[in-house]
Amino acid sequence: MINFDQLVKHQGNYDLFQVIQMAIVSNYNNYPIHFHVEGLRGTGKTTIIRSAKQKLPYIERIKGCIYNCDPQRPHCPNHINLSREEITEIGTEKIPMPFLEISHSAKIGTVAGSIDLGKLTQVDKPEAALLPGIIPRAHRGIIFVDEINRLADTSPELVDVLLDVMGTKPGRIQIEESGLPTISMPVSVSVWAASNPDEDPGPLEEIRRQLADRFDYTIQMGRPKEISVILEMLNKNKWNKVSKSDNGFDHQELNKEYLEQLEKQCQQFSQVEFGLEMQKKLAKLYLDYDLESMRALEAIQIGGQIIAALKLKPAADYDDLKTVLPWSLRHRVDPLTLGKIINDFNQLEEYGQEEDKENSLRDKVNSLKTKKDQKNKHYKISWGWLDKSVFLATVINWFRKVLFKNSRISEQTAPNPAAKTSSNCGELDSKMNFINPLQIDLEEFPANALPLASLEGKLVSTAEELEAEAKNKIKHNGV
């Protein structure tokens, strides 16, 4: 099998590589996602998916448990009732994350479970027991179904089992066999599937729409469209003889770096936030377009969080949602509706960005206002007493002007200016040169001005008139 790291990535298969990485991260965090890749035959769907087995991390299970029981959460009939001490006594072990396939020739017994013929035919101690099938043994791992559209057409009973497994997270599996008690247990598996919609019996959503809706994402696989990409693929195919010295990199070291990066992404996944505003926008799309399944919104939200975790970001944003939006809706709505939804979502994104800019600007204004208030507060604290002193000095200066004015008036009109000044304005402190404003008598404001027309006599005369009036006076007085 071709090494996963040697596979050539191009525009047509990039989405498949990305969704595989998403599925590994989410499954490692006990939240399995299911995806279905569609594409023409020979484009490399199956090759990429099977090669991804090399990139699966290790999981820890109770030692020897064929159901892959998590030591912290045992679920199988053999360990579910054991105490912590008993599990510790049994011990634990690490194994590669399970990767199993369901073929088209599989029966219900090999997929779900059947009688364990080995134990039944033991010579010394025969016993009737159940042998778990592919799905129970793939717990906490991957199940791959190739040509799933043909399986849905020819094996409806297997599809019914898959519906139970994929219906909830985690799903459930029920093992039934005549003469033995029925066993029902939770199972957490990530289902990966591939198909060619152009071949019989046709696209999966037209054969078993219920099963198609169980997949969180549907990926379109495209062909390479550049000569350089095709040449690179030909030089790295499984028939090309390449020596170890020509590989150009150390697979073991690359896998070590990959696992370290994967560990960081898995830890980040549990911390990624999804904002309430984006949830409201998803809810609006759901209502506006009358989407049939809530699984679509759940897939968009969890997909955005996984994409953010792959980038080691603290929160999902619109760019992350734009990646998974077509994957989540392609198999649930018609192409025309999908185009409208994507267009509306882009408009919501632009509106959200404008709103973010407004909020950012508002925050900056509030920040500047806060700084200004703090500065003013500091000014008031530092210079408050000086402000009061300036105010008092201004008031005193005004009263002094009033005092001096009254003093001049009194000197001109009163026979005893000193007494008048003392009675009207109070005493003058010679040391402080300060006059008590409370001892000053307020004067009455002057009467309102009258118009010139209402006054008696002529108030304005020309020079000639004044000269003639003077001559008359001289003549009249005999001067």
pLDDT-derived band at 444, boundaries 50, 70, 90: low
Assess contact for 3 and 51: CB atoms under 8 A. yes
Count of structural domains, the chain: 1
List all residues 6 or more positions away from 267 whose beta carbon is below 8 Å from its beta carbon.
none
**Calculated CA dihedral for residues 337, 339, 344, 349, nearest 10 degrees:** 140
List all residues 6 or more positions away from 126 whose beta carbon is below 8 Å from its beta carbon.
119, 120
| Interior/surface letters 111-131, b for 16+ CB within 10 angstroms, e for the rest | bbbbbbeeeeeeeeeeeeebb
Let me know if residue 84 belongs to a domain: no
**Spatial distance between the Cα atoms of 212 and 205, rounded to a whole number of angstroms:** 5
How many angstroms separate the Cα of 257 from the Cα of each of 29, 57, 85, 308? 19, 12, 35, 20
Let me know if residue 301 belongs to a domain: no
- Note the pLDDT tens digit of each residue in 167-209: 998 899 888 877 777 888 899 999 999 999 988 888 998 899 9
DSSP 3-state assignment of 173? strand
Given this model, what pLDDT does residue 255 score?
Answer: 73
Q: Which residue has the higher pLDDT, 259 or 452?
A: 259
Average pLDDT over residues 59-64: 94
- Note the pLDDT tens digit of each residue in 354-395: 555 555 556 666 666 666 566 555 545 444 544 555 556 666
Token couple for 110: 């090999």
Let me know if residue 62 belongs to a domain: no
- The DSSP bridge pattern shows strands 217-221 and 35-39 to be parallel
- The DSSP bridge pattern shows strands 141-146 and 99-101 to be parallel
**CATH number for the domain harbouring residue 180:** 3.40.50.300
Let me know if residue 410 belongs to a domain: no
Let me know if residue 181 belongs to a domain: yes
Let me know if residue 148 belongs to a domain: yes
How many angstroms separate the Cα of 252 from the Cα of each of 8, 54, 257, 315? 19, 11, 9, 32
Angle at 252 between CA 250 and CA 255, to 5 degrees: 110
List all residues 6 or more positions away from 1 whose beta carbon is below 8 Å from its beta carbon.
50, 51, 238
Given this model, what pLDDT does residue 120 score?
Answer: 56
- Note the pLDDT tens digit of each residue in 211-244: 999 999 999 999 999 999 998 888 876 554 444 4
Q: Which domain holds residue 161?
A: 4-57+97-253
Q: What mean pLDDT, rounded, does the chain reach?
A: 80
Let me know if residue 273 belongs to a domain: no
Whether residue 419 is predicted with pLDDT greater than 50 in this model: the reply is no
- The continuous run of DSSP H or E covering 263 comes out as helix 251-269
Let me know if residue 158 belongs to a domain: yes
- Cα 366 from chain centroid (whole Å): 24
Average pLDDT over residues 25-43: 93
Assess contact for 67 and 98: CB atoms under 8 A. no
**Spatial distance between the Cα atoms of 93 and 60, rounded to a whole number of angstroms:** 6
Please spell the DSSP secondary structure of 68-115, one letter per residue: --BTTB--STTTTT--HHHHHHH-EEEEEPPEEE--TT--HHHHTEEE
- Note the pLDDT tens digit of each residue in 247-289: 444 444 557 788 889 889 999 998 999 989 889 989 988 999 9
- The continuous run of DSSP H or E covering 260 comes out as helix 251-269
